[in-house]
Amino acid sequence: MPNSKITFLPHNVSLEVPPGTSVIQAALDAGVHINASCGGEGVCGKCRVRIEAGSLEGGVSEKLSAEDVHSGYRLACQSAVTADVTVRIPVESAIDAGVLNRPASPRRTARIQEFNFDELKERGLFLAPVEKKYLEIPPPSLQDNLPDLTRLIGFLTLQHDEHRLEADLGVIRKTPEVLRQDDFRVTATLVRPVREDGKTRIINLQPGDTSGRSCAVAMDIGTTTVYGQVIDLITGAVRAEHAEFNGQISYGEDVITRIVYAEKPGGLDRIQEVVIGTINKILRKIIRRSGVDPEDISTITLAGNTTMTQLLLKINPRCIRRAPYVPAASIYPPIKARDLGMELGDHVTALVYPCVSSYVGGDIVAGVMGSGIYRSEELTLFLDVGTNAEIVIGNKDWLACAACSAGPAFEGGGLKFGMRAAKGAIEDFSLDPGTLEPMIVTIGKVRPKGICGSGLINMVAVMFEMGVIDNLGKFDPGLKTPRIRKTDGGREFVVAWKAETQIDRDISISEIDIENLIRAKGAIYSGCMTLLTEVGLGVGDIQRIILAGGFGSFVDLAKAMTIGLLPEMDPDKVIYLGNGSLLGAKMSSLTNRIRRDVAAVVRKMTNFELSDTASYMDNYIAALFLPHTDINRFPRLKARVEARRQAV
């Protein structure tokens, strides 16, 4: 279905939206304010709009009289755009038109980097890591009774020009039987060497012709969630995917508590078994769903942070959590999947992404490989934000990286009314600059239960830009609104009144909450600045930003730049990678080019321990402002703020 055009009056702002978009969401995207504080459930009845041309779906409510409905009034939060429509926002629902008379800055998240297997091939980046070869071999005789494997290898050379072959013991064990199962018609699975001068390994032998079926598994072992995919090595398609919470969550929510558990007697064995249990659960699901014969799965590639990786490989992680934070290894050898306990064929080798340091792990390396920064001319800032944020800056010539503890603010943690991005979380927000009445949107369009990370960023950005809070995050005591009130710990702003919530309490955002966010964004921004400082560059040198992890998918780029979380730049230059760890694992399954390059990339990635880097504290203190102690670094924001001051 094509997009529909919605025009808001009296602002005369139009935008195209996908059919089914709620009017309140469209208003938010258009930068048009409609009073709405119930999150979209239609409880408050404040968000009335009037249809002037075209039509809307829904929006009729007991909050509207029959006469209102007849006159074209609808509740914006309850009505959906299904065709071109023009709506007028009545005075009681609208903001001061004067203030709004600025160019619309539609809500923009980063565009997604698309993965294209054919393009990969075209660009010469495709080096098949696994190939299957079908053979019809003449049976042996007394005149020609070479050992079975010698015969097999001979005909791989003769019929497929294969050289430098070697076979695993598992293949030798099955060769006599498999050769004779279908009259010496067999398919050999070959694993290509990573280095050009290496040997090609025969890892499996199947009766008959199975050369059209070849798959791999890619997995991201996250601290919270484990994602798995079955990849078709012939088409590059994802045949099935599934995610499960990492079973280790019962042993602690973060890496530190997991390490503490692993240090107990028997703890490491136990916690390794648990993640293998999660992996096997996913394997069973994705193998069943994809309909793939497990014999046709030849490799598994896994990426995870350093702690997840060491736990997966049963490597004691105790030195990770103690200064000077030393991981056991950077590069791990290929390991038989079965030896780790994975329910995969005996022939399957597990490849585990290398890590850089204790807090820049294989997930980040996978993201760097998957995003292709390491081959890029452009100076790129790669950011994976969660409880910990990992930062990589560089291009094909150099890469600097660091990790910083952002705290849980971006995941809605540590706030008075914080919550994960689940149903009922306030994720979007705007304010009527005149009345300071909010418009909020919750996930699932239900009455609010709390505030998630993106909601917090949006609130702080909006309040800062409207002057509700100052650059220290403090509320303007001169503002007249019942929503701002004093508490023991400073002022707070009531986002939703008790009656409009699901929790039977006012939902508010306090100066302490804002301070938490400023600290979190300050840690990340100053991490980036420190890496730049250390390599003698400035923020203006960054040509591109790549966001990885769940955070990147929902963050409003303009708002993130407003609070100083991201350096200010053209949103077109910001790319969302999705799950970079999973993408890297997938790409490594598809091409040996990644495996060949990764060791050199890891060596190239210079790790900075921020706590031990002289410039970090200076950068951090300078970043504990909205957006920064030096607003000149954010010229567009500065211009907007100045324009607003003049307008007021």
315 is a site residue for a copy of itself (CB under 8 A): yes
How far apart are CB 89 and a copy of itself at their closest, in Å?
A: 57
Output 198 or 635, the one with its CB closest to a copy of itself.
Answer: 198
CB neighbourhood size of 20 (10 A)? 12
Query: Rounded to whole angstroms, how far apart are CA atoms 230 and 221?
Result: 15
Among 172, 446, 479, 494, binds a copy of itself (CB under 8 A): 172
Output 66 or 169, the one with its CB closest to a copy of itself.
Answer: 169
Output 60 or 335, the one with its CB closest to a copy of itself.
Answer: 335
Structural contact between residues 274 and 338, judged by C-beta atoms closer than 8 angstroms: no
Among 145, 161, 504, 646, binds a copy of itself (CB under 8 A): 145
| Length, in residues, of the chain | 648
Output 295 or 346, the one with its CB closest to a copy of itself.
Answer: 346
How far apart are CB 599 and a copy of itself at their closest, in Å?
A: 10
Query: Rounded to whole angstroms, how far apart are CA atoms 458 and 469?
Result: 13
Structural contact between residues 414 and 516, judged by C-beta atoms closer than 8 angstroms: yes
225 is a site residue for a copy of itself (CB under 8 A): no
Query: Rounded to whole angstroms, how far apart are CA atoms 393 and 619?
Result: 16
Non-local CB neighbours of 478 within 8 Å, separated by 6+ positions: none
Among 333, 478, 482, 536, binds a copy of itself (CB under 8 A): 333
Output 145 or 632, the one with its CB closest to a copy of itself.
Answer: 145
Q: Which of 370, 406, 324, 256 is nearest to 607 (CA)?
A: 324
Query: Rounded to whole angstroms, how far apart are CA atoms 148 and 139?
Result: 10
How far apart are CB 391 and a copy of itself at their closest, in Å?
A: 17
615 is a site residue for a copy of itself (CB under 8 A): no
CB neighbourhood size of 141 (10 A)? 7
323 is a site residue for a copy of itself (CB under 8 A): yes
173 is a site residue for a copy of itself (CB under 8 A): yes
Q: Rg of the Cα trace of the chain?
A: 29
162 is a site residue for a copy of itself (CB under 8 A): no
* Cα separation values, 141 from 146, 147, 285, 540, Å: 9, 11, 46, 74
Non-local CB neighbours of 106 within 8 Å, separated by 6+ positions: 15, 29, 30, 31
Among 60, 125, 319, 494, binds a copy of itself (CB under 8 A): 319
Output 50 or 199, the one with its CB closest to a copy of itself.
Answer: 199
CB neighbourhood size of 185 (10 A)? 14
Output 137 or 274, the one with its CB closest to a copy of itself.
Answer: 137
Q: Which stretch binds a copy of itself (CB under 8 A): 34-42, 88-96, 169-177, 562-570?
A: 169-177
166 is a site residue for a copy of itself (CB under 8 A): yes
617 is a site residue for a copy of itself (CB under 8 A): no
154 is a site residue for a copy of itself (CB under 8 A): no
CB neighbourhood size of 127 (10 A)? 16
- Burial of residue 163 (CB within 10 Å: 0-12, 13-18, 19+) is exposed
Cis bond upstream, residue 627 (ω within 30): yes
Q: For residues 374-393, which are near a copy of itself according to CB under 8 A? A: none
316 is a site residue for a copy of itself (CB under 8 A): yes
How far apart are CB 356 and a copy of itself at their closest, in Å?
A: 8
The string of DSSP codes covering 522-562 is HHHHHHHHHHHHHTT--GGG--EEEEESHHHHH--HHHHHH
Give the three-state DSSP class for 321: coil
- Greatest CA span in the chain, whole angstroms? 102
326 is a site residue for a copy of itself (CB under 8 A): yes
Place of tokens 């203190």: 621
Among 25, 109, 175, 588, binds a copy of itself (CB under 8 A): 175
Output 111 or 164, the one with its CB closest to a copy of itself.
Answer: 164
Among 147, 212, 540, 635, binds a copy of itself (CB under 8 A): 147
614 is a site residue for a copy of itself (CB under 8 A): no
Q: Which stretch binds a copy of itself (CB under 8 A): 36-44, 76-84, 246-254, 331-339?
A: 331-339
Sequence letter at residue 360: V
534 is a site residue for a copy of itself (CB under 8 A): no
CB neighbourhood size of 188 (10 A)? 28
324 is a site residue for a copy of itself (CB under 8 A): yes
- The number of residues that bind a copy of itself (CB under 8 A) is 47
Output 103 or 138, the one with its CB closest to a copy of itself.
Answer: 138
- Burial of residue 84 (CB within 10 Å: 0-12, 13-18, 19+) is middle
Q: For residues 590-609, which are near a copy of itself according to CB under 8 A? A: 607, 609
Q: Which stretch binds a copy of itself (CB under 8 A): 140-148, 439-447, 450-458, 460-468?
A: 140-148
Query: Rounded to whole angstroms, how far apart are CA atoms 496 and 501?
Result: 7
Among 358, 387, 458, 530, binds a copy of itself (CB under 8 A): 358
Q: Which of 427, 440, 428 is nearest to 47 (CA)?
A: 440
329 is a site residue for a copy of itself (CB under 8 A): yes
User: Which residues on neighbouring strands pair with residue 382, listed in sequence order?
Assistant: 392, 546
149 is a site residue for a copy of itself (CB under 8 A): yes
Q: Which of 329, 347, 327 is nearest to 337 (CA)?
A: 347
Q: Which stretch binds a copy of itself (CB under 8 A): 19-27, 353-361, 491-499, 562-570?
A: 353-361
73 is a site residue for a copy of itself (CB under 8 A): no
CA quadruple 474, 479, 484, 485: dihedral sign: positive
Query: Rounded to whole angstroms, how far apart are CA atoms 496 and 415?
Result: 15
Output 74 or 151, the one with its CB closest to a copy of itself.
Answer: 151
Output 279 or 320, the one with its CB closest to a copy of itself.
Answer: 320
266 is a site residue for a copy of itself (CB under 8 A): no
Query: Rounded to whole angstroms, how far apart are CA atoms 89 and 12?
Result: 11
Output 168 or 515, the one with its CB closest to a copy of itself.
Answer: 168
Query: Rounded to whole angstroms, how far apart are CA atoms 218 and 633?
Result: 40
Among 140, 207, 267, 490, binds a copy of itself (CB under 8 A): 140
Residue 308, both tokens:
């997840």
Output 505 or 603, the one with its CB closest to a copy of itself.
Answer: 603
93 is a site residue for a copy of itself (CB under 8 A): no
Query: Rounded to whole angstroms, how far apart are CA atoms 38 and 507?
Result: 11
Output 133 or 318, the one with its CB closest to a copy of itself.
Answer: 318
- Binding-site ranges for a copy of itself (CB under 8 A): 140-151, 166-169, 172-173, 175-177, 197, 313-316, 318-319, 323-333, 335, 355, 357-358, 607, 609, 611-612
